Structure 1
Amino acid sequence: MINFYKNACCLGALLAIGFVAHTQTIKKLTPYVNPFIGTGAVKGSLSGNNYPGATVPFGMVQLSPDTRDEPEWDAACGYDHNDNFIAGFSHTHLSGTGAPDLFDILFMPYTGDEKTRAGNAQQAGIGYGSRFSHDQESARAGYYQVKLDDYGINVELTATEHAGFHKYSFPKKSKGRVIIDLNHSLKKPNFGCHVIAAQFHMVNDHTIEGFRVITGWAKLRKVYFYAEFNKVIKSNDLVDGGTQYFDQQLLNGTDLRAVLNFDPADGTPLMAKVGLSTVSTQNAKLNLVTEIPAWDFTKTVAQADAKWERELDKIQVEGTSQQKQIFYTALYHTLIQPNNYADVNGDYTDIDYTTHNTKGGFYSTFSLWDTYRAAHPLYTLIQPERSAGFVNSMISQYKAYGYLPIWQLWGQENYCMIGNHAIPVIVDAVLKGIPGIDINQAYEAVKNSSVTDHPGSPFKVWEKFGYIPENVLSQSVSVTLEMGYDDWCVAQLAKKLHKTADYTRFIKRSQYFRNLYDAQTGFFRAKNTDGKRLAPFNPLQYGGNGGNPYTEGNAWQYDWYVPHDVKGLIALFGGEQQFTAKLDTFFTLNSKPGEVNGNASGFIGQYAHGNEPSHHITYLYNYAGQPWKTQRYVAKICSELYNTSSSGYAGNEDCGQMSAWYVFSAMGFYPVNPASGVYVIGTPVMRKSVMLLPLNKRFTVLAPNSSAENIYIQSARLNGKPYTHTFITQQDIMKGGTLEFVMGPKANEHWGIGLADRPTN
């Protein structure tokens, strides 16, 4: 593939020029971001599991309300729109995940007239939250506000990359207090969660610092903070479990809360600035004073808004107001993570708990089973410099740990989910010529991570049997299919580097999916080490994360997971006619009650948009000469399974993947094979989409008559010439240009059906 990034030394300057010029000609985009989308489900459904609080693109801090004292999986982000209680405002959160963690350094303002300081400290131990209502709550990109009903306090929050900024407006003459809780976390002892050590240190009468070391979904995280207030701390009550200490300067323990007492409110807000670090309180202070040097809350809000505006500006769309709100909120969600955990001086805590330094940022929060599918391919288009940072951070784990991330959180590996999906992310970035990546280091990392046994990846068994036996590793069908795809990716990089023996080895392994295909039933079915298939077999039966051959899905949904060899899959099914007939059944077959588990939602027949195994399937009709059916189902998903309400997603948003699906699909194409550089055309939702690319190029998609009725492509032109391919390549996009569609209400069954018009992988 052509390296469109070879002039990387000029990239930053050219991008900056492009952003300035482009921004001058458009309306602001941040008003279209609605952080409440996907924050709470209607009864019996999933919604997104998103938080509404303040953050900046790829920032370490996510300052947001927690509506649960001990969040669990159903409010893994800490917030549920159906709740009417706020426990406090913590500084770190996960966006749309299916498991909870973080919730670090919780602050909560309150008022009180306790007769004794013992009573004041006691309140810190028995509960200090407040009721609230949504009609006194607001949020936008980089800003959050709520009125605490029980105390009459108006809370405003904003953030920088490494710091949070709080503004509390107390009722006049009320006694202002702030609780800092270092024990607030996910529900203990889930994931073995407990605080190992914590500390408060009163630095002076305006400042408190400290840390906590905690284990949970991410193992042994160190979180340091440095907090300054704009008013004098008149006294403090420090609490360790049931023991209270008054006006003490230092306290160590495992169940710590601090009550900071201030003079009665005089009509001016109490403000707090809080810096975080994984390294030390000194670095937390450095982060704070560097990013928020003054007490100008309004300016910090404006700076956060400007950072979001710059990133959102990289894709300009035209459509209805509702479509733009869904689109830009989705784009916003894709840009929340991965998170840069390196301090402003480049220090960060590596996976081996030693301090390292980097000039390019150190990123974590890699929900790779989700995000390799669409979020990371999107980053290669609109975040090439950060894509290099993501890849180099993954390679850093390989160097220290021996293999690439599976699911990395706060710099730690938690082994969640299956496959080795850092591999397609790295291979995709290298093959697309993203600058700043050492190709030889990248190849070493992807190859050795594919031959070294590690949890969930028994490669010796893999090569011995040519599949994963269920009695060796559960979820065996899903693991076999997904590891086969990862092996195809390794093979492509081996081919680029002329490593013939490696290419032969890995391309052979990429075909192991054939060893589980059962022609009699037409499904991929599990085998044990004796070669016998598991019985009885019900293709509608769901698996979760163990105890079943399928991961968060069923045999129907995994029947289509061979993104690197769809042509081979079509042949397995008996040809194009049988393939499309089975797709038709897939999209119309309803399962029986009780056969669907909590990981599946957003159904169209057996298609479950609420979870990732289904995400590419609507686009498979293109490979068999029926692209109008892809157009029909993509339009249906975009219009019915995304909305502007708190239940605006069909399932967990999963660190940007659910959103990236919409961003791509609304523009008109999607990466079925995420590492191929090929995007399969669906149907454009937006009337116009413009991607601002490196080297000041733009790629424009026009569909001026696209509407709720006009969902079918009648014809297309690329740069003025007739275009009949049902795919477009990275090379086409990066050159810049215009892809224009004529849309209509009836399917054109003649466009894009030729053999040469179909995607090849």
Structure 2
Amino acid sequence: CVAQENARYINPFIGTDNMGHTFPGAVVPFGMVQLSPDTDTVPYSSGQGYNPDVYRYCAGYQYTDPTIVGFSHTHLHGTGHSDLGDFLLMPVTGEPKLNPGTATYPETGYRSRYDKNTEIAQAGYYAVTLTDYDIRAELTTTPRVGIHQYTFNGEQPGALILDMVHGIYNYDGKVIWSSVRVVNDTLVTGYRQTNGWARERFIYFAMSFSRPITEYSLRNEEKEIYGGFWRRWEMNRNFPERSGRKVKAWFKFGLKQSDKLLVKMAISPVSEQGALLNLKSEAPHGSFGLYRADAFRAWNTEANRLTIDAGDEQKVVFYTALYHSLIHPSIYADVDGRYRGLDHEIHQGDGFTNYSIFSLWDTFRALHPWLTLMYPGEASDMVNSMLAHYDQSAHSILPVWSHYANDNWCMIGYHAVPVIADAWVKGIRGFDGQKALKAMVRSASYRPYEGLGDYMDKGYVPAEKSGSSASVTLEYAYDDYTISRMAVALGDSAIAQAFRTRSQNFEHLF
């Protein structure tokens, strides 16, 4: 009997051209790390308002772009706005440059042209040859660790760039603060805080190398007003700590032609120690091939749950769609269950794994019902994550569009409500139903939220209160119907009747 490998039909390049907003890099199901190439540095703004060209780079990658800037560890997938692009690494040869250069003149910075014929994207694996440096770059992941393998085929000595300023939907000033520390000759840790779509976002890393560092430079490219007594140090060369808003670094390892460098970078929402724990727990050995095989196996397990009778072309479409459905929401917790909450306190997941990236206006109709049917354990964790959000919210409401311990308030409706109701009526019992109903009613009764007070008083959202008044009214009415169904299931006839009545408000549109 030949082992079934439906994951071989997954093509991560699908959706990476123009406005598809997908990335081709490595990720495992629901993984916190999405390790992928970024192909340009188009800013969200250059100080003169929104730059519409940035919309093409929601996932950091454009299939037809001629250069690769580097490989960052966090990406949004399929969204219509963006953030993230954390902790970009780029292998180089020769004397390192710390600016990315431009697509037109890549030689002015550290980016590189690449050979499209050498680019490979498979389930849990990405590879490409960087032609300016003659470096073969390979990527894979665990849930919380990005694994890089770089083969330096050029004649010049190799090095590695770490850019703490780079980001997706970036702008000058987005990095509020960052820090890098060289712990020893094979371990570097750090963190950054950013202000973007998520207004107050913290992310930490721990990075290990298969070869010892021989020389390094940590620099802050912002003019430092206060120097203090740091001036007694030569801080730009082999000085093991650097903080600031524009921190960049390079590392040398005595690399020669044909040498390989294995880099493992774990991330954490909690702390550098949390990232180090993730690194030790999920990436204890030095075999890139084994990590790659484990990532493929994770995807193959999911793909093999479904078998279709179709030709290869239809199978590519089907299994790639399955793959796309299992990237977000994503785990947002360390291996010990700790995570950063909406209140920016550190919480312990009590009987559940915390998730983030709830794009609920986009996902309540199809993705979450799909997860409820096929992944009830994960769906239960997601509901518990939403209830934790409710507990930690300054508004005491469920998430609208949340990522990385922030609600970015994108889109309309209170669509955590139908996700929770759908899970309950389909028999998922891994969360407190009464608490969930209370949170649902509270979210549907929070008068300051986009015309909700008028909706409660008048039965509709007036056009002068919302530019999407008809859509908002319709979606509030649908959400109210699901609250009614949840209340019926829990035996609360008063709430059931009240929200059944409210659900008829859609009639006021006609």
1:411 to partner: Cα distance: 2.3
The answer as to 2:56 corresponding to 1:64 is no
Q: 1:225, 1:276 within 8 Å by CA — same for their partners in 2?
A: yes
Q: Which amino acid aligns with 1:134?
A: K
Q: Distance in 2 between matches of 1:195 and 1:385?
A: 36
Instruction: Determine the structure 1 residue equivalent to 2:179.
Output: 199
Partner of residue 455 from structure 2, selected from 446, 455, 462: 462
Residues 1:50 and 2:44 aligned together: no
SS of match in other structure, 2:259: coil
Letter paired with 2:260: P
- DSSP 3-state at the match of 2:478: helix
Match for residue 502 of structure 1 among 477, 495, 500 = 495
Query: Which residue pairs with 1:475 in the alignment?
Result: 468
Q: CA RMSD in A?
A: 1.6
2:256 is aligned to 265
Distance 1:226 1:454, change over 3 A: farther
8 Å CA contact 2:16–2:23 kept in 1: the answer is yes
In the alignment, which residue of structure 1 is the partner of 2:7?
A: 30
* Aligned-partner residue type, residue 28 of structure 2: V
Residue 172 (structure 1) shift: 5.0
Q: Structure 1: how far apart are the matches of 2:441 and 2:323?
A: 34
After TM superposition, give the deviation of residue 501 of structure 1 in Å: 2.1
- 3-state DSSP class of the match of 2:308? strand
Displacement of 1:318: 1.6
Q: How many residues align?
A: 480
1:108 equivalent in structure 2: 90
Look up the match of 2:399: 405
Find the counterpart in structure 2 of residue 442 from structure 1: 436
> Which string of whole-angstrom CA distances, capped at 9 and with x for unpartnered residues, describes residues 315-364 of structure 1?
21120100000000000000011101110011100000000111421001
The amino acid that maps onto 1:58 is F
Deviation at 1:277, TM superposition (A): 0.3
Q: Does the 8 A contact of 2:484 with 2:500 survive in 1?
A: yes
**Could you say what secondary structure the match of 2:307 adopts?**
strand
Cα deviation code 1:431-488 (max 9, x no counterpart): 11113121111111111111113433x3321121110001112210100001100000
**285, 294, 308: which one pairs with 2:299?**
308
Confirm or deny that 1:226 pairs with 2:196. Answer: no
**What is the match of residue 362 of structure 1?**
354
What is the TM-score of this pair, normalised by structure 1? Answer: 0.62
**371, 375, 387: which is aligned to 2:379?**
387
CA deviation after TM superposition for structure 1 residue 237, in Å: 1.2
- C-alpha distance in 2, partners of 1:428/1:454? 26
Identity across the alignment (%): 41
Counterpart code for 2:383: V
Secondary structure at 2:161's aligned position in 1? strand
Q: Please, what TM-score do these two structures have when normalized by structure 2?
A: 0.91
SS of residue matched to 2:236: strand
SS at match of 1:463: helix
Q: Distance in 2 between matches of 1:233 and 1:123?
A: 21
3-state SS, counterpart of residue 243 of structure 2: strand
Report the CA distance shift for 1:327/1:230 in structure 2 as closer, same or farther (over 3 A): same
Local SS of the residue matching 2:497:
helix
Q: Structure 1 residue runs of 4+, over 3 Å off?
A: 120-126, 187-190
Residue in 2 aligned with 1:419? 413
Q: Cα distance, 1:415 vs. partner?
A: 0.3
Residues 37, 69 of structure 2: 8 Å contact kept: yes
What is the CA-CA distance between 1:55 and the residue it aligns to? 0.5
- Going from structure 1 to structure 2, the CA distance change for 1:516 and 1:56 (only over 3 Å counts) comes to same
1:575-724 → structure 2 map (5 Å cutoff)? none
The letter for the 2-side match of 1:364 is: S
The equivalent of 2:486 in structure 1 is 493
Change in 2 beyond 3 A, CA 1:461/1:123: closer
Unaligned runs of 5+ in 1: 1-23, 115-119, 518-761
* AA partner of residue 142 (structure 1): G
Question: Does the CA-based 8 Å contact 2:209-2:263 persist in structure 1?
Answer: yes
Cα displacement (A) at 1:215: 1.1
| Distance (Å, rounded) in 2 between the aligned partners of 1:511 and 1:264 | 69
Instruction: Name stretches of at least 5 consecutive residues in structure 2 with no aligned partner.
Output: 44-53, 102-107, 224-234
Q: Paired residue for 2:139, among 154, 157, 162? A: 157
Q: Residue 393 of structure 1 aligns to a residue in which SS?
A: helix
Residue 149 of structure 2 is matched in structure 1 by 167
Give the Å deviation of 1:409.
Answer: 1.0
Q: Could you tell me how far 1:108 is from its partner in structure 2?
A: 0.4
What CA distance in whole angstroms lies between the structure 2 residues aligned with 1:189 and 1:89? 19
Take 2:330 and 2:452, find their aligned partners in 1: how far apart are those partners? 31
